[in-house]
Amino acid sequence: MPSKTFEENVEFEKRIQAELDYIYKNIFGDCIISRLGTSKYDLIITDNMTNKQYTIQEKIIRNSYSRLSVEIIQDIVTGNLGWIYKCQSDFLHWVMCDNQSPHIIYRVKLADFRSWYFQNCWHYSPDTFRLETDGWGKTLHQLIPINDIPELETIKLT
């Protein structure tokens, strides 16, 4: 059974996603936002002017940190791989929150990030790996310094 912390995290993400939808409409203008929440991506933004679609995977983080988390194994017990392997979105958004609202989005093209990550993840010390148990099982993450990630776009919201 999920812990109260897990349920609180789900409610927190739902609230932040509603705020992000408003933010995305301000950033992208005339668009349609479709939240699907699949393992491939979280949402599709359709630009009504060009009819072009962008898929986005969001990682919503309660606080601001100097490192970003990369999910390698979603559940060690079942062997279910993390989003770094399974996600198929165009973009990855790490959303940092302060005072319970989004204040910065780190945006990167997922294919570019994935390529960079697999070439460079081995250069970091073992203490960059974390095992978490308050989500969907026992999850293995690696923490990567924000400043190390090339072509990372910063969108400041406040």
For residue 57, the surrounding DSSP H or E stretch is strand 53-61
Predicted model pTM: 0.90
Domain boundaries, the chain: 4-156
Give helix then strand counts, H and E, for the chain.
3, 10
CATH number, domain 4-156, options 2.40.10, 3.40.1350, 3.30.460, 3.30.420? 3.40.1350
For residue 103, the surrounding DSSP H or E stretch is strand 101-109
Per-residue pLDDT for the chain (158 aa), expressed as one digit of tens each?
A: 445 577 888 889 999 999 999 999 998 899 999 998 888 999 999 999 999 999 999 999 988 889 999 999 999 999 999 999 999 999 999 999 987 899 999 999 999 999 999 999 999 999 999 998 877 789 999 999 999 999 999 998 86
